[in-house]
């Protein structure tokens, strides 16, 4: 007999908001600075229009200038169209300065909003990761990310008690965590029911790490001990999901909290499995799932975010008509090219 | 490796790269197909018509094991499943029973199960059945013209009137992709009587008239009951032409994953080099081969200039699925073990970079000038409030777009526009070729949407530094 899938409340989601949990667990997490987002920044992030703030634009211009050896023939490219230079001069002087101060302090940062990091936009900047060393990096990531759009437009989408006026009550923040190159093989997602871990999943669930199996029991012990000592009964919800980084057997950190419910990826479990486990009211140690054998390279699940959504729509058969449309439009362009080539040749 | 895997490995005859003559390799070379799928066959059709059951039946995964093992269901999520096709070596063994299709883990040969036969089933094809539409990776490759499929199986349910609206779209897509090698499968014949099946057969014949599928064989099957699947294998072997592959080009692979497999607190002496994973687009990779990865290490020097330093290393291991390889050809996703500093490979850091033979890789660009063709409207009508998808407005200076160049993704800031040309500053250095095709996308209603097709005309190169 399986239980019904859990319902998530607005309060559960709010409890997972960074400015709510970080002050409680600061000592056992990574160094972070929390910057409040003013309304103009929130509006900027919500808008589809994608222009960098002036400061970042200027930085990118400067980068071009520095990397030019000879002078470009810029002349016939500049201002072809007078109204092309519409006033897209966006600027948040105070906010940008705050970010610069943190960058000065930490050298490199990992950005996120209240709940999500722009992991889906990692294709935007070098090294395919979220290491930001300047303003442009940060804004490029925030503006290209569907995860960030979700945070800033519909954070309570999956809550049963969501109402229209909740969005305006949220104090949005930009979190800048001191950059550290974490090892995905050391991240573990823990499912907590009634203040007890009942299941643990390897977080990088598509890759095989040989070293995990021989130390599996030790991993469980370390995590449970860390949880019992520092997290249990201190988090405001009784059911939740917590991601833990196990750098070493005696060095563990809290990465993040997520609500207890299907909107949180259950990785190597299915939510029905987890619910079944949660109904077993024994004091057994949690079930630990990890990839136990080499199964080859898998397609990267982040690819879907690095291509236009039209592609994802086709893949999920939300719109097969589109495949034919997209393909034929590309053929049209090729024919158009061939035609114009033919014209110039006659 | 556990004992089961060791057994499978020993069942596969040792692969040797010593006397490797690249000119003699084909998609049927026994040494290759033991370990890698070399032919891609798309399975096209509506999911309700039995595609997934068909794939499970062809790749030997038992039907009816739904939901139990997450790994099992992963096959469907992956969008492809590999299968080995065997043929009994006894001439007297009749068609179609002399053909069998089984999962890739199977060894080179095993005894024929026809009573009194005495022959051996021998491996003759290693096929990758690609779900279409399927995983984003394949769709993304198709975006800029990569041919992902050599042939197609078009699946039509016998208990539906033909054509269903989706079936028309599927056939349209097949036409546009220029696929000529097609087999039509009339699935679920167990649910209809002989008369109904024949009636629909005629509907199918009418339907495929004047399309690429005009002369396609139509095979009645029941994937659920594993009925007539050997006939499908028979037709795959005898009707689908062997694709032409070029194994002699300088090898090249786009990296889609990279990682560090070292355990916490590993000794410096025990450190294993980083691993890169991807799909080989041309040529062959071999163990001990010297390779280069571009753009490589990207950094800003103290003058504020962007620099890159290609990574050079050696291949220490190769694998596909659960098979170790001594050499790898294009086909499927390959894992490449190297001597690269594992921190450079950690957490997908090399995704989007190109791996290949030293001094053969494309130029690295930080800026490109493109010829582009703006779409009039965004694709699709769904999820927009009005009935019409929005009109696409022209490009604006300094706006930032998503650019897909071949199978790579990067951001680009528009620097200037002149007629049908645009100059774009890339948000990170990428490898690209002149005349390479690309797609531009802009954020519309909170998601990236296709707005233009393009082609690289020229670009500003970043000279790689050869050492730090």
From the CA of A236, how many Å to the nearest CA of chain B? 32
Strand, coil or helix: B199 = helix
d(CA B382, CA A335): 28
Q: How many CA atoms lie less than 13 Å away from A317 in the CB half-sphere?
A: 15
Among candidate residues B374, B377, B388, B389, the one with its CA nearest the CA of residue B440: B374
Q: Which of A86, A133, A331 sits opposite B176 (nearest CB)?
A: A331
A324 vs B33, higher pLDDT: B33
| A296:B319 CB<8 A | yes
Q: How far apart are the CA of B331 and the nearest CA of chain A, in angstroms?
A: 12
Q: Which domain holds residue A192?
A: 184-289
Positive or negative: CA dihedral A245, A249, A251, A254: positive
Specify the pTM.
0.89
Contact B135 A315 (CB under 8 A): yes
Angle between helices B51-58 and B70-78 (to 10 degrees): 110
Classify residue A15: in a domain, yes or no: no
Question: Do B322 and B404 fall into the same domain?
Answer: no
Is the Cβ pair B460, A67 closer than 8 Å?
yes
CA separation for the pair A299, B257 (Å, rounded):
8
A299–B78: do the CB atoms touch at under 8 Å? yes
- Give the gap in angstroms from C-alpha B117 to the nearest C-alpha of chain A: 35
User: Residue A52: which of B259, B304, B400 has the nearest Cβ?
Assistant: B400
Report d(CA B392, CA B375) in Å as an integer: 7
- Structural domains counted in chain A: 3
Q: What is the ipTM of this complex?
A: 0.91
Which chain A residue's Cα is nearest to B307?
Answer: A67
Q: Say whether B450 and A211 touch across the interface (CB within 8 A).
A: no
Q: φ, ψ for residue A224 (rounded to 5)?
A: -65, -40
A201 and A154 within one domain: no
In a domain, A223, yes or no: yes
Q: Minimal Cα–Cα distance from A40 to chain B, Å?
A: 18
Q: Would you state the torsion angle of the CA atoms of residues A131, A245, A210, B104, taken in this order, to the nearest 10 degrees? A: -70
| Tokens found for residue B329 | 């050809």
Say yes or no: B264 contacts chain A, CB-CB below 8 A.
yes
Same domain for A210 and A120?
no
Instruction: Round to whole Å and give the CA distance between B408 and B144.
Output: 10
C-alpha B452/C-alpha B424 separation (Å) is: 14
Backbone phi and psi for residue B304, each to the nearest 5 degrees, phi listed first: 90, 10
Q: What is the pLDDT of residues A52-61, one digit of tens each?
A: 999 899 989 9
Residues B66 and B128 reside in one and the same domain: yes
Do A199 and A113 lie in a common domain?
A: no
A127 vs B401: CB contact, 8 Å cut-off? Answer: no
Report the chain B residue with the minimal C-alpha distance to residue A131. Answer: B349
| Structural domains counted in chain B | 3
Token output for A281: 């009211």
Smallest CA–CA distance, residue B222 to chain A, in Å, is 23
Same domain, A167 and A35: yes
Instruction: Give residue B269's pLDDT band: very low, low, confident or very high (50, 70, 90).
Output: confident
In chain B, the residue whose alpha carbon lies closest to the alpha carbon of A126 is B428
User: Is residue B14 one of the residues assigned to a domain?
Assistant: yes
Chain A to chain B Cβ contacts (< 8 Å): 278
pLDDT, residue A280, reads 82
Confidence of residue B62 (pLDDT cuts 50, 70, 90): very low
Q: A208 and A165 in one domain?
A: no
How many whole angstroms separate alpha carbon A103 and alpha carbon A116? Answer: 20
DSSP string, A128-196: GS--B-SHHHHHHHHHH-HHHHHHHH-TTTTBTT--GGGGGG---EEEEEEP----GGGEEEEEEETTE
Cβ-based contacts of B74 with chain A (< 8 Å): 298
Distance from the A128 Cα atom to the nearest Cα atom in chain B, whole angstroms: 5
Gap between the Cα atoms of B52 and B187, Å rounded = 12
Chain B residues touching A329 at Cβ < 8 A: 375, 379, 453
Residue scoring higher pLDDT (A273 or A109):
A109
Beta bridge partners of A196: A193
Same-domain status, A238 and A317: no
User: Are A64 and A163 part of one and the same domain?
Assistant: yes
**Domain match, A221 and A138 both:** no
B417 — contact with chain A (CB < 8 Å)?
yes
3-state helix, strand, coil in chain A (%, to 5): 45, 15, 40
Which site among B402, B418, B437, B440 would you substitute to test the A interface, given the most A Cβ atoms closer than 10 Å to its Cβ?
Answer: B402
Structural domain contains residue A152: yes
Report the pLDDT value the prediction gives residue A74, as an integer from 0 to 100.
55
Say if the Cβ atoms of B453 and A333 lie within 8 Å.
Answer: yes
Residue B70 near chain A (CB below 8 Å): yes
Give contacts of B136 with chain A, Cβ < 8 Å. 299, 303-304, 307, 311-312, 315
Residues 198-237 of B with CB under 8 A from A: none
B468 within domain boundaries: no
Mean pLDDT of B243-257: 91
B347 with A48: Cβ contact below 8 A: no
Structural domain contains residue A84: no
CATH label of the domain that carries residue B341: 2.40.30.10
Give CA–CA dist B361/B294, Å, rounded: 7
Whether A266 shows a pLDDT value over 50: the answer reads yes
In whole angstroms, give the CA distance from residue A12 to residue A237.
6
Which letter does DSSP use for residue A205 in this model?
A: T
Of B380, B397, B413, the CB nearest to A322: B380
Q: At CA B164, angle to CA B158 and CA B167, rounded to 5? A: 95
Among A64, A268, A320, beta carbon nearest to B169: A320
For position B75, what pLDDT does the model report?
45
Q: Chain A: give the shortest CA distance to residue B240, in Å.
A: 24
What does the radius of gyration of chain A's CA atoms come to, in whole angstroms?
24
Q: If you average pLDDT over residues B355-376, what whole number do you get?
A: 95
Task: Tell me: do A44 and A158 sit in the same domain.
Answer: yes
Q: Is the predicted pLDDT of residue A50 greater than 80, yes or no?
A: yes
Using N-to-C axis directions, what is the helix angle for A146-153 and A135-144, rounded to 10°? 70
Is B375 in the same domain as B424? yes
pLDDT of residue A283: 72
Neighbour count for residue B198 (Cβ, 10 Å):
11
CB interface of B with A, residues 266-325, below 8 Å: 277-278, 298, 300, 303-306, 319-322
CATH code, B154:
3.40.50.300
CA–CA dist B434, B430 (Å, integer):
12
Note the pLDDT of residue B114: 86
- Contact status of B142 with chain A (Cβ, < 8 Å): yes
In whole angstroms, what is the distance from residue B226 CA to residue B59 CA?
A: 11
Residue A224 lies in a domain: yes
Q: Is residue B328 part of a domain?
A: yes
Is B399 part of the contact surface with chain A (CB cutoff 8 Å)? Answer: yes
Distance CA A251, CA A6 (A): 32
Closest chain B residue to the Cα of A336, Cα to Cα: B373
Answer with the residue of higher pLDDT: B303 or A125: A125
Q: If you average pLDDT over residues B107-133, what whole number do you get? A: 88
The pLDDT confidence band at residue B268, using thresholds 50, 70 and 90, is confident
Distance CA A233, CA A215 (A): 27
- If one compares A240 and A316, the residue with the highest pLDDT of the two is A240
Burial (CB count within 10 angstroms: exposed 0-12, middle 13-18, buried 19+), residue A304: buried
B430 and B339 in one domain? no
Q: Are residues B398 and B350 in the same domain?
A: no
User: Does residue A76 lie within any of the structural domains?
Assistant: no
Q: In a 10 Å sphere around its CB, with 0-12 CB exposed, 13-18 middle and 19+ buried, how is residue B109 labelled? A: middle
Give CA separation, B208 vs B151, B184, B389, in Å.
Answer: 16, 10, 31
- The residues, any chain, with a CB within 8 Å of residue A72's CB and separated by 6 or more, are none
Half-sphere exposure of B323 (CA within 13 A, CB side): 28
Domain final residue, candidates A289, A321, A338: A289
pLDDT for residue B255: 95
Residue listed under structure tokens 């095993």: B110
B346/B372 same-domain check:
no
Query: Cα torsion at A250, A256, A260, A261 (round to 10°)?
Result: -130
- Give mean pLDDT, residues B330-347: 93
Beta strands B252-259; B354-357: pairing state: antiparallel
The angle, 0 to 180 degrees and rounded to 10, between the axes of the packed helices A39-46 and A146-153 is: 130
Domain co-membership, B348 together with B374: no
Q: Is there a single domain that holds both residue B85 and residue B214?
A: yes
Per-residue model confidence (pLDDT) at position A324: 77
Report residue B164 as tokens. Answer: 């269903």
CA distance B48 to B42: 17
Give the chain A residue nearest B462 (alpha carbons).
Answer: A67
pLDDT interval class at A1 (50, 70, 90): very low
Do B427 and B457 have their domain in common?
yes
The verdict on residue B25 lying in a domain is yes
pLDDT of residue B229: 92
pLDDT at B71: 42
State the angle between helix axes of B51-58 and B229-239 in degrees (0 to 180), rounded to the nearest 10. Answer: 80
Distances (CA, A) of A328 to B34, B143, B167, B224: 37, 11, 17, 35
Does residue A82 lie within any of the structural domains?
A: no
pLDDT band at A174 (very low <50, low <70, confident <90, very high): very high
To which H or E segment does residue B257 belong? Answer: strand B252-259
**pLDDT value, residue A83:** 43
Task: Answer yes or no: is B381 within a domain.
Answer: yes
Look at residues B186, B184, B196 and name the one whose alpha carbon lies nearest to residue B227. Answer: B186
Look up the domain containing B311 and give its range.
Answer: 265-357
Same-domain status, B347 and B369: no
Asked if residue A243 and residue A263 are part of one domain, the reply reads yes
Question: Do residues A136 and A164 both lie within one domain?
Answer: yes
- The answer to whether the Cβ–Cβ distance between B169 and A62 falls below 8 Å is no
pLDDT digits over A79-120, tens only? 545 444 555 689 999 999 999 999 999 999 999 999 999 999
Q: Which residues of B touch A186 (CB under 8 A)?
A: 264
Q: Which residue of B has its CA nearest to A154?
A: B446
Q: What number is the average pLDDT over the span A207-224?
A: 95
3-state helix, strand, coil in chain B (%, to 5): 20, 40, 40
Q: Per the domain annotation, does B85 fall within a domain?
A: yes
Measured in angstroms, the CA of B228 and the nearest CA of chain A are apart by 28
When CB atoms are compared, the residue of A81, A315, A330 closest to B134 is A315
Do A199 and A96 reside in the same domain of the chain?
A: no
Last-in-domain residue among B341, B357, B373: B357
B384 touches chain A (CB under 8 A): no
CB contacts, 8 Å: A308 with chain B: 402, 404, 439, 441, 447-450
Count the residues in chain A.
346
Is residue B233 domain-shared with residue B276, that is, in the same domain?
no
Q: Is residue B420 part of a domain?
A: yes
**B289 pLDDT above the threshold of 80:** yes
B323 and B441 belong to one structural domain = no
Read off the CATH number of the domain in which A215 is found.
3.30.470
Do the domain assignments include residue A269? yes
Rg, C-alpha atoms of chain B: 25
Query: Which residues of chain A have a CB within 8 Å of the CB of B261?
Result: 185, 209-211
Kindly determine whether residue A80 and residue B416, on different chains, have CB atoms separated by under 8 Å: yes
């Amino acid at each position: 007999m399986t239980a019904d899938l859990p319902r998530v409340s607005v309060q559960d989601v709010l409890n997972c908001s960074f400015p709510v949990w970080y002050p409680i667990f600061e000592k056992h997490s990574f160094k972070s600075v929390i910057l409040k987002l003013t309304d103009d920044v929130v509006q900027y992030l919500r808008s589809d229009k994608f222009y960098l703030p002036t400061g970042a634009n200027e930085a990118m211009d400067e980068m071009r200038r520095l990397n030019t050896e000879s002078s470009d023939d810029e002349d016939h490219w500049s201002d072809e169209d007078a109204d092309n230079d519409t006033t897209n001069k966006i600027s948040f002087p105070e906010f940008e300065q705050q970010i610069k101060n943190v960058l000065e302090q930490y050298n490199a940062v990992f950005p996120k909003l209240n709940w999500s990091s722009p992991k889906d936009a990692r294709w935007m900047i070098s090294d395919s990761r979220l290491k930001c060393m300047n303003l442009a990096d940060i804004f490029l990531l925030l503006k290209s990310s569907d995860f960030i759009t979700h945070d800033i437009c519909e954070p309570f989408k999956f809550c049963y008690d969501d109402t229209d006026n909740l969005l305006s009550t949220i104090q949005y923040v930009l979190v800048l965590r001191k950059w550290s190159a974490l090892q995905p093989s050391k991240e573990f997602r823990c499912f907590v029911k009634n203040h007890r871990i009942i299941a643990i999943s390897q977080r990088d669930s598509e890759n095989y790490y040989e070293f995990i199996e021989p130390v599996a029991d030790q991993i469980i012990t370390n995590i449970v001990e860390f949880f019992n000592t520092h997290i249990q009964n201190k988090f405001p919800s009784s059911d939740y999901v917590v991601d833990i980084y196990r750098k070493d057997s005696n060095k563990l950190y809290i990465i993040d909290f997520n609500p207890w419910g299907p909107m949180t990826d259950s990785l190597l479990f299915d939510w029905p499995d987890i619910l079944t486990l949660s109904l077993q009211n024994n004091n057994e140690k949690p079930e630990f799932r990890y990839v136990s054998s080499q199964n080859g390279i898998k397609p990267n699940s982040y690819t879907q975010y690095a291509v236009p959504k039209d592609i994802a729509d086709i893949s999920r058969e939300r719109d097969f008509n589109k495949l034919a449309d997209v393909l034929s439009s590309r053929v049209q362009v090729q024919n158009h090219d061939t035609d114009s080539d033919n014209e110039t040749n006659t | 490796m556990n004992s089961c895997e060791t057994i499978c490995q020993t069942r596969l005859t040792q692969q040797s790269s010593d006397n490797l003559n690249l000119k003699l390799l084909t998609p049927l070379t026994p040494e290759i197909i033991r370990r890698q799928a070399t032919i891609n066959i798309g399975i096209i059709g509506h999911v309700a018509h039995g595609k997934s059951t068909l794939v499970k039946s062809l790749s030997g995964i038992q039907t009816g094991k739904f939901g139990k093992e997450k790994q099992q269901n992963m096959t469907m999520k992956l969008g492809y499943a590999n299968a080995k096709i065997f043929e009994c070596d006894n001439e007297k063994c009749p068609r179609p029973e002399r053909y069998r299709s089984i999962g890739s883990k199977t060894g080179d040969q095993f005894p024929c199960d026809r009573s009194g036969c005495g022959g051996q089933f021998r491996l003759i094809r290693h096929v990758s059945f690609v779900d279409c539409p399927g995983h984003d990776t394949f769709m993304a490759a198709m975006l800029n013209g990569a041919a992902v499929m050599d042939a197609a199986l078009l699946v039509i349910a016998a208990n539906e009137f033909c054509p269903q609206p989706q079936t028309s779209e599927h056939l349209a897509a097949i036409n546009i992709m220029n696929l000529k090698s097609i087999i039509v499968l009339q699935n679920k014949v167990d649910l209809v009587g002989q008369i109904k099946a024949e009636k629909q057969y005629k509907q199918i014949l009418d339907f495929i008239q004047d399309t690429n599928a005009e002369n396609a064989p139509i095979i009645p099957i029941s994937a659920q009951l594993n009925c007539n699947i050997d006939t499908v294998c028979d037709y795959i072997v005898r009707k689908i032409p062997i694709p032409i592959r070029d194994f002699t080009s300088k090898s090249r692979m786009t990296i889609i994953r990279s990682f560090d497999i070292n355990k916490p607190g590993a000794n410096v002496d025990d450190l294993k080099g980083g691993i890169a994973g991807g799909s080989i687009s041309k040529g062959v990779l071999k163990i001990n081969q010297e390779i280069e990865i571009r753009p490589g290490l990207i950094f800003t020097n103290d003058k504020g200039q962007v620099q890159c330093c290609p990574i050079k290393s050696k291949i220490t291991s190769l694998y596909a699925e659960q098979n170790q390889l001594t050499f790898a050809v294009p086909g499927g996703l390959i894992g490449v073990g190297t001597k690269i500093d594992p921190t450079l490979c950690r957490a997908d850091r090399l995704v989007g970079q190109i791996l290949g033979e030293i001094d053969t890789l494309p130029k690295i660009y930080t800026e490109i000038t493109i010829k582009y063709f703006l779409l009039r409207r965004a694709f699709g009508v769904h999820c927009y409030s009005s009935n019409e998808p929005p009109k696409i407005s022209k490009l604006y200076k300094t706006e930032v777009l998503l650019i897909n160049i071949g199978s790579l993704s990067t951001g680009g800031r528009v620097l200037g526009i002149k007629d049908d040309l645009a100059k774009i500053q890339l948000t990170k250095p990428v490898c690209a070729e002149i005349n390479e095709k690309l797609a531009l996308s802009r954020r519309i209603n909170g998601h990236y949407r296709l707005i233009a097709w393009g082609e690289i005309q020229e670009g500003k190169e970043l000279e790689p530094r050869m050492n730090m």
